[in-house]
Amino acid sequence: MKISDDSLWFATAFYHASGSAPNARTVFRRSKPTMYYRCMIVCFATIRRLYPEARLSLFTNRTPPDPFHGQLESIRVDTVICAGRYVDDPAFRNDFPGCLFTLDVIDCLARDPSAGFSHVILLDSDCIVRLRLDAMVKELENRGERIYAYETGYPVHQVFNGQSRATLTLQSAYFSGQTAPSPIASYGGEFYCLPAGSLPRLAGRIRNFWAWMKSEGVGSFGNCLTEEHVMSVVLAGEKGTVHTADGLIKRIWTASNYSNVDGNESGIPIWHLPSEKKKGFVRLYRYWVRNNGFADLGEGDLLRLIDKAVPLRTAGRKYPGRSLLRRLKNSVKAFVGDPVQ
C-alpha cells in the first residue's frame, strides 16, 4: 500500500491548564502558554517544510491566542477543539497538567472515521522535525499495520511519575487477565505513529483500562497516572504490532546539570528537546518571525540553523546554584522577549 504525504496527519495535543509542569517553570503565569506556542510554531513549521501536503492539526480545548492563532493558520495548521473526558477527570493526578489530553485526542480521532488519513503522528510540541520519516513510511507500506512509539528504557523498578514498569506490568496483568512473560515496555508520550484502523481499538482499550483503574486499580496502585502510563498498558495489549521509534526520535536533554548527548544525534529525524523551551525554541521562533518562515531555506541551511540554535554538547562544569541561576535567567529572557515582532 502506497502511503502518500497527504495521507499523513501530524498533530500535537495542548490543553490550557493551570499549574506548572516540571519542564516548563516560568516566573510569570502568562509566560507558560507563550512558551508552548513558540515551540508549536517551530515544530509545525519544520514539519511543513518537509511535508508540504500533509495535514497538520493542533488539538486543544480553546482557540489559540494572538498572534499564535494567525501564525498557525499561516502554516496551514488546523485547530481542533476537543472535549476533555480524561484530562478533566478528578480521579487521577500528576505533575504534568494536561498530559492526559492525548487520550482525549485519540478518542476524538477514533470517533471520526471519515477523516480520510492513513496514519496520525502525534508529537509533543517541543519537538523539531529535522528529516523526513521515509524509512518508517517504507516499513508501514511493506509490513502492514504497525504502531510506532518511543520506548523510554527505564529500569523495571524505577519510579517515573508515580509508577514503574513493574507496577504497570501488574496493572496490565490484572486488567487483561493475562500474565505478561516479561515486564512491559514503557513508552514516552512524545511520539506515536498510529494507523487509522487501530484508533477505535486503542480508544476502546483506553476507555476500559480507565474504568478499571477508577473502580479497582486505584486501590492497589494509587491515583498517580499520566498518559505515558495508560498508553504503556494499552500498547502492551497490541501483540506484535508495536515497534520502537528509537532511531526516529530521541529525547535529548541539554540542561546545564544533565546532558545525554552522545554525538550521534545528527541522523535522528526528530529531536525532542524538553529543556530547550526557553532557549533553542525561542531562537528558532524569532528567526521564523523575522524571516517570514523557513520555506526559503534549503535542507542544509535549515539543519545548520537548528544546530546553531540548539548546540548539542555535554553538560559543563557544575557549581553551586548554577541550575537555579540559569533557570531564572532563561525565564526572564523568555518573558522580556514577548511578544516578538
CA dist., res. 163 & res. 175, Å (int): 16
Mean pLDDT of the chain: 89
Asked if pLDDT for residue 336 goes beyond 70, the answer is: no
Give me the pLDDT at residue 22, please: 56
Residues 6+ apart with CB under 8 A from 55: 6, 8, 9, 10, 78, 117
Give the burial string for 149-166 (b: 16+ CB within 10 Å, else e).
Answer: bbbbebeeeeebbbbbbe
pTM for the structure as a whole: 0.89
Question: For residue 195, what is the enclosing H or E element?
Answer: strand 187-195
* pLDDT band at 332; cut points 50, 70, 90: very low
Cell of 16: 490550557
Q: What is the pLDDT of residues 156-182, one digit of tens each?
A: 999 999 999 999 999 999 999 999 889
Tell me what the mean pLDDT of segment 215-219 comes to: 97
Give me the pLDDT at residue 317, please: 43
- Please report, for the chain, the start and end positions of each structural domain, with discontinuous segments joined by +: 5-336
Q: What is the pLDDT of residues 79-120, one digit of tens each?
A: 999 999 999 999 999 999 899 999 999 999 998 866 789 999
Share of the chain above pLDDT 90, in %: 80
Give the burial string for 236-273 (b: 16+ CB within 10 Å, else e).
Answer: bbbeeebbebeebbbbbbbbbeebeeeeeeeebbbbbb
CATH superfamily placement of domain 5-336? Spore Coat Polysaccharide Biosynthesis Protein SpsA; Chain A (3.90.550.10)
Asked if pLDDT for residue 315 goes beyond 80, the answer is: no
Three-class secondary structure of residue 53 per DSSP: coil
Closest CA to 102 of 59, 62, 164: 59
**CA-based end-to-end distance of the chain:** 45
Residues 6+ apart with CB under 8 A from 5: 51, 52, 53, 54
